[in-house]
Structure 1
Amino acid sequence: MSNNNPIRRRWRSQIIRERYIRLATSVGMLFFGAIIVLKVENLLLSVILAVTSSSILDPAVNSLERNGLSRKMAVSLIFLFIALILLLTIVGVLPPIYDQALKLKAELPKYTEGTVKLIQDIEARLVFISDIFETFDFSETAEAYISAFSTSLFDDLPKLLSNSVTTMFLAPFLTFFMLKDGRKVMKLLVDMVPNNIFEAVLSLRHQINLQIGSFIRARFIEAGIVGGVVWIGLWIINFPYAPLLALFAALTNLIPYIGPIVGMVPALMISLINGTDPLGLLLAAMPYLIAQVIDIFFIIPMVVAKIVDLHPITVIISFIIGAQIMGVLGMIIAIPVTSALKLTLESIYRHAIEFRSPE
């Protein structure tokens, strides 16, 4: 027995060393990948969109695969269906939105002048503002800022379109291979995990995928419902640019807290500039208010809140940190990242307790 002890000790030490080497390799690969994603232009947004899309589409692909299709065929079929939906959307929905965008561009000087006039009226009525800003011409500064913004918006449009086209091609490409080969890549990463934490890592991966995928789907359903309610409401009162404003409201609703307010501002500004009376202003705000009531009292409690179990203070802190690090995009992805981190820490804690407990 004593002769075997040194051999056994060397064998155990070799196994432990191999486990740590595999774990260090996994962490190093993930760290290196994260640096590349952060450094290469447009890659971060493309990866985020690809992860989001693959999380949304993965259940549908799995369902087709269970019905006898190969993984590649299932992914191809889903992409073909999405391409058909996009084609119908481009033919049916995009033309009116594009026409309204062109109309808005043509009328932008009118709204710029109206905004400046509105600021001047507010300045004239609130005398104390003039006293505070005696040496600061607020209206001129606002006019210069608005003119510069509107000019730069359309001047920078080619660059914006170029970046968008890059992302548009890169994100679907990454999504396709994430859906098709994601399991193989994940298996390679999981195989590098030491055996003593293999089951814990596998369970954690499943929980994170399930929770983040469900959360992303819920948020997009939420944004779609909000945009639809705003569109119908603005269409009923015959408000200009209804599809464009509804699309803007749906997108800004993805931004926590400030998003719904930002989404409502363009409609209120258009109403004020067009000289709408208080009743007309209330009518313009009504679709947004109804959408938020539906969102706050029905969609969030029934769909979103059940998916992510996070304390409100944790949510607020995660939003602040996300905003500081990555701006608006950081606020949008703050909850999924925090949720994944929470699940990871809980798994580490449980594993540590199990490891320390006597057998």
Structure 2
Amino acid sequence: MTTSTEPFYKKLSLNLITLALLGAALYLGQGILVPLFFAILLATLLLPVTNFLQRIRIPKLPAIVLSIGISLALIAGIIYLLSTQVANFLEDSAAIKERFNTLIHSLQDWINQTFHVSTRKQNQYLKDTAQNMKDSGAGIVGQTVVTITEALSYVVFLPVYTFLILFYKDLIKKFIVSVFKSTREENVSEILRESRSMGQHYILGLVTDMSIVFALNALGFLILGIKYAIFLALVAALLNLIPYIGMLIANIFCMLITLISSDNLSDVVWVAVILAAVQFIDNNFLMPMVVGNRVRINALVTIVGVVIGGTLCGVSGMFLAIPGIAVLKVIFDRVDDLKPWGMLLGDLPDTKPAKEKAKKKAAPPKD
């Protein structure tokens, strides 16, 4: 009995230690690894474009530069659209501040009547909180500097990493196949091919899904005459890229902005209704249609993965969690010792065909 359980515990402990080391490496080296992972995703997405440009007799180097330039132009367009909407929103900052103060006074009166906490005590608590934030201002400034530095590193390193990955893709593939030469070479090539196909399918699906969600949200907000309709629709579409958690944050943000900017409480309710309706359409029709069943990861693993990714690497980790888990599932499904882990990450198997076959076998033959 001891001999049969020892290999199981050894394998399990080695797998857990490996996952823990990968998590520690990701946390400690996120400044280097996260831009590299984004570059891998972008290179995977641009690979068909570069291959097409090379097929029409454009040399390899100009083809890579041209494909990266097109992608950066699209990203710059999205950033420009978002920045213009934010600028339009900030133009009304004085009116928004006045409306916000009115809502705060109404909330304070409600707290005073309901919980018998005087307005003076509430104001004192707000002053103490503001003082604490002021005392920790150096830390906030430091964090802001770090965030700006990370953004600049993305701007600099993302196109460079993407270019080098596309340029040396054959060398990288040969290296990976050579490292795992002890296993079947066909199996390693299949894992690489499936991971690349899954990444392309997933990213293209997300971009298509984000565009449709943005259009539906914007259409609904414009029909109802919601203020800052394009801005709110764009923020909700971008946050929708983060599974489950992103849409919850988008709902709270859009309802709060509408509450501050609108005099009608019904507008807040209608914003929630539109977001809920679009989310229902997205979950039940759009995502299965545009992304399909290529990324079959169950909801529990998705939520836990997004939370762990956010803890390790912030918002970037939340976005990278799903494609990362999907690649791990591709690897687990093709390695015999890791197949149970792949089963844990996936959806529940469809047992209907097996049950029907069993019933047919058990049923007596017809005369």
TM-score (norm 2): 0.70
Question: Hey, what does 1:342 align to over in structure 2?
Answer: 329
Q: Contact between 2:39 and 2:161, CA under 8 Å: does it hold in 1?
A: yes
Question: Hey, what does 2:290 align to over in structure 1?
Answer: 303
The CA deviation at 1:246 is: 2.4
In 1, the alpha carbon distance for the partners of 2:123 and 2:107 equals 6
> Does the residue aligned with 2:66 lie in a helix, a strand or coil?
helix
Aligned partner of 2:43 among 18, 34, 54: 54
Aligned partner of 1:290 among 264, 277, 281: 277
The CA deviation at 1:112 is: 5.0
Q: Contact between 1:112 and 1:146, CA under 8 Å: does it hold in 2?
A: no
Question: Hey, what does 2:199 align to over in structure 1?
Answer: 212
> Does the residue aligned with 1:42 lie in a helix, a strand or coil?
helix
Aligned partner of 2:263 among 273, 276, 292: 276
* Structure 2 residue 73 is matched with structure 1 residue 66: no
Written as runs of structure 1 = structure 2, the 5 A alignment for 1:185-264 is 185-194=172-181, 196-264=183-251
Q: Name stretches of at least 5 consecutive residues in structure 1 with no aligned partner.
A: 1-27, 353-359
AA aligned to 2:285 is F
* Structure 2 residue 179 is matched with structure 1 residue 180: no
Question: Hey, what does 1:165 align to over in structure 2?
Answer: 152
In 1, the alpha carbon distance for the partners of 2:189 and 2:144 equals 45
Aligned partner of 2:31 among 42, 45, 49: 42
Aligned partner of 2:101 among 107, 110, 113: 113
Alpha carbons of structure 1 residues 214 and 140: separation in structure 2 relative to 1, 3 Å: farther
| Greater displacement, 155-164 / 331-340 | 155-164
The CA deviation at 1:118 is: 5.2
Q: Name stretches of at least 5 consecutive residues in structure 2 with no aligned partner.
A: 1-17, 340-367
| Greater displacement, 251-260 / 217-226 | 217-226
Please, what is the CA RMSD of the aligned residues?
3.9
Q: Contact between 2:38 and 2:158, CA under 8 Å: does it hold in 1?
A: yes
In 2, the alpha carbon distance for the partners of 1:220 and 1:98 equals 21
Written as runs of structure 1 = structure 2, the 5 A alignment for 1:13-162 is 35=25, 38-39=27-28, 42-85=31-74, 93=81, 96-103=84-91, 109-110=97-98, 113-114=101-102, 116-117=104-105, 119-124=107-112, 127=114, 130=115, 141=125, 148=133, 160-162=147-149
In 2, the alpha carbon distance for the partners of 1:164 and 1:227 equals 24
The CA deviation at 1:315 is: 3.1
In 2, the alpha carbon distance for the partners of 1:269 and 1:140 equals 24
Q: Contact between 1:223 and 1:254, CA under 8 Å: does it hold in 2?
A: yes
Residues 59-79 of structure 1 show CA distances to partners (whole Å, capped at 9, x for unaligned) of 222232334333323212212
How many pairs align?
314
Alpha carbons of structure 1 residues 307 and 122: separation in structure 2 relative to 1, 3 Å: farther
TM-score (norm 1): 0.71
AA aligned to 1:63 is F
The CA deviation at 1:212 is: 2.4
Q: Contact between 2:27 and 2:312, CA under 8 Å: does it hold in 1?
A: no
